[in-house]
Structure 1
Amino acid sequence: MKTHILVTGSNGQLGSEIRQVADRQHANGEKNHTRFYCTDRATLDITDAVAVETFCRDNAINIIINCAAYTAVDTAESEPTTADAINHIGAKNLATAARKQNISLVHISTDYVFSGHGCRPYRPSDDTAPTNVYGTSKLAGEKAILDECPDNSVIIRTAWVYSSFGKNFVKTMLTLAEKHAQLRVVADQVGSPTYAADLAEAIMKILPQLNHRGVKTYHYSNAGVCSWYDFAVSIFELSGTPCDVSPITTEDYPTPASRPPYSVMHTADFQADFEIRIPHWRESLKHCLAALNNNG
């Protein structure tokens, strides 16, 4: 039986990495077993419930990987309705279609559902308490999926995502270093960077293993812990980019939306349940920098 996989938000960082995985599968001769339907808002508006159900039914979708999200954290403070429509209502529509049509759903969520005031890695079962509109909208999406409860489905919370695709911290730092010999980067926000390519590979590996009732929540981020300052220093070190970085506090760099000061994720359940090794963030950063270099 051929597997039909719908990937929403396929032009984003994670969606683009999943398309790369799909291309490699096709190159390896696996195209006869899996077909990917990679969509963006122009081809499938997930805020339209009828459009979602129709698309899934017409294309005999077996699995949905929801990478679509409103991720402009600061802009979300002034556009809460738009953020909610995509991150909450869109997730609900996908979950409803998944339940009605017996489709597995992999939904990507965020560390921003937590307050960030913890002192140990956040477990999937820990209490949530978002402090900004983005986190609130993503948590509403999670709750909607849990309410719909499609079988063989997972919510994967991740953090500090970067890739050779799209806009992200790594590419921003490298671009800024071309114009500035010195940069100031926040040093009192701590977390674990996540290379989207690693997460994409992990998602593809767990799909055949989804065999449970309802929805389970997991955390995925690369191993190790750092601050944004540490991350920036490593980006310049590993890329051989000359740039002097100075640490500053969150108060020195005010933003419209508050950020969690602590975003370290507990990933042991994900690794144990699916027998997947998660690499250290510096190891993965090297791979991303190599990809950026190869892409010019």
Structure 2
Amino acid sequence: MSDTHPEPPATSTLGRWLLVGGRGMLGQDVAAALCAAGVAPTVAGSAELDVRDAAACDEAVAGADVVVNCAAYTAVDDAESEEAAAFAVNAVGAHHLAVASARHGARLVHVSTDYVFAGTASEPYAEDAPVAPRSAYGRTKLAGEWAVQASGADALVVRTAWLYGAGGRCFPRTIAGALSQRDVLDVVADQVGQPTWTVDVARVVLDLVRVHAPAGTYHATSGGQGTWHDLAQAVARAAGADPERVRPTTSEQFVRPAPRPAYSVLGHDALLTAGVEPIGPWQERFEVAAPSVLGGQEG
């Protein structure tokens, strides 16, 4: 069904971990963080575990102390015309893993998204702020949150946003590749969020489990805020290019099938209350991340 991430011995004070969706960009960094902490997680990608299969989920979760669900249908624009397919993974799959976790007594960490919010706020969204998704992707992810919360599982819902990392396609790598081929780029400057490194999210996930954080909702995003244009200029600087080659434009110039939240800044009070250090300012974290993220860029 799945394999075990190589290296350290399976025995650990953190227990036995099942990492679902462990082949993706975030999953790879969670696996690496676990290995560094002395845990050999069982890693299940979509080829090893179909979260739409309730029986398979129950079998996979049996014996695990902690289950991390990074599996998701993340094609935001495609979800507008394939909402049932997105729902099957993001909501039904989450339900299957949550029910199995409750049945077998495993702690569940379920990864969610800023897209559950309308994106119309002017100050950071608190963990208990009203939800109002505007896209099919957001609706299916919110349904997954509700399924997890209704399952009776000992569950942590961890929302994140604007992810980038070395293990997959992401905005910084796309921008770096485009800068190598074009003189100037136009990037939207009217969407505000928190660019977040998957390595940092992985650390937050481990810390939440380590401190036995109460079941509930947490936000794992970088501190501060910026626009896609800000991030693209940071990428240019990191790549040794003139940031002025990145020009600001508006969302109206880049109409997409799925609406993007105009404001995706999340608050971190629940992390602080649980005794977990929030992620630092996005600019500082990107400077640390850039060598590994851009060093493996896809063209």
* TM-score, normalized by the shorter chain, greater than 0.5: yes
Question: Which TM-score applies when normalising by structure 2?
Answer: 0.91
> Is contact 2:125–2:265 with CA below 8 Å preserved after alignment?
yes
Describe how 1:255-294 pairs up with structure 2 within 5 A.
Answer: 255-292=256-293
Write the distance in 1 (CA, Å) between the matches of 2:51 and 2:231: 34
**Residues 228 and 149 of structure 1: CA distance in aligned 2, closer, same or farther (over 3 Å):** same
Total equivalences in the alignment = 284
Point out where structure 1 has 5 or more consecutive residues left out of the alignment. Answer: none
Q: Deviations over 1:14-61 (max 9, x none)?
A: 101112213323xxxx3xxx330111111111110100101222xx11
**Residues 62 and 129 of structure 1: CA distance in aligned 2, closer, same or farther (over 3 Å):** same
> Is contact 1:87–1:137 with CA below 8 Å preserved after alignment?
yes
Root mean square deviation of aligned Cα: 1.5
Q: Deviations over 1:175-203 (max 9, x none)?
A: 11111110000111001111110110121
> Is contact 2:268–2:278 with CA below 8 Å preserved after alignment?
no
User: Are 1:62 and 2:43 an aligned pair?
Assistant: no
Q: Deviations over 1:211-245 (max 9, x none)?
A: 54xx3011121011101111111111133124501
Write the distance in 1 (CA, Å) between the matches of 2:120 and 2:295: 39
User: Are 1:50 and 2:62 an aligned pair?
Assistant: no
Aligned to 2:143: 140
Aligned to 2:4: none
Write the distance in 2 (CA, Å) between the matches of 1:161 and 1:211: 23
Instruction: Give the residue type in structure 1 aligned to 2:290.
Output: L
Aligned to 1:41: 46
Aligned to 1:84: 87
Write the distance in 2 (CA, Å) between the matches of 1:56 and 1:275: 26
Deviation of 1:207 after TM superposition, in Å, equals: 1.0
**Residues 79 and 6 of structure 1: CA distance in aligned 2, closer, same or farther (over 3 Å):** same
Write the distance in 2 (CA, Å) between the matches of 1:265 and 1:22: 25
Instruction: Give the residue type in structure 2 aligned to 1:187.
Output: A
Describe how 1:85-100 pairs up with structure 2 within 5 A.
Answer: 85-100=88-103
> Is contact 1:271–1:278 with CA below 8 Å preserved after alignment?
no
Write the distance in 2 (CA, Å) between the matches of 1:266 and 1:101: 32
Compare 266-275 and 196-205 and name the one that shifted more.
266-275
Aligned to 1:154: 156
Describe how 1:108-187 pairs up with structure 2 within 5 A.
Answer: 108-151=111-154, 153-187=155-189
Point out where structure 2 has 5 or more consecutive residues left out of the alignment. Answer: 1-10
Instruction: Give the residue type in structure 1 aligned to 2:54.
Output: A
What percentage of residue pairs aligned between the two structures are identical? 34
Question: Which TM-score applies when normalising by structure 1?
Answer: 0.92
Q: Deviations over 1:46-98 (max 9, x none)?
A: 110100101222xx111001111111100111111110011000100010011
Write the distance in 1 (CA, Å) between the matches of 2:295 and 2:170: 18
Runs of 4+ in 1 over 4 A off after TM superposition: 293-296
Deviation of 1:295 after TM superposition, in Å, equals: 4.8
Any idea what SS the aligned residue of 2:180 has?
A: helix
Q: Deviations over 1:228-287 (max 9, x none)?
A: 111111111133124501111111110000000000000122133133142111111112
> Is contact 2:166–2:294 with CA below 8 Å preserved after alignment?
no
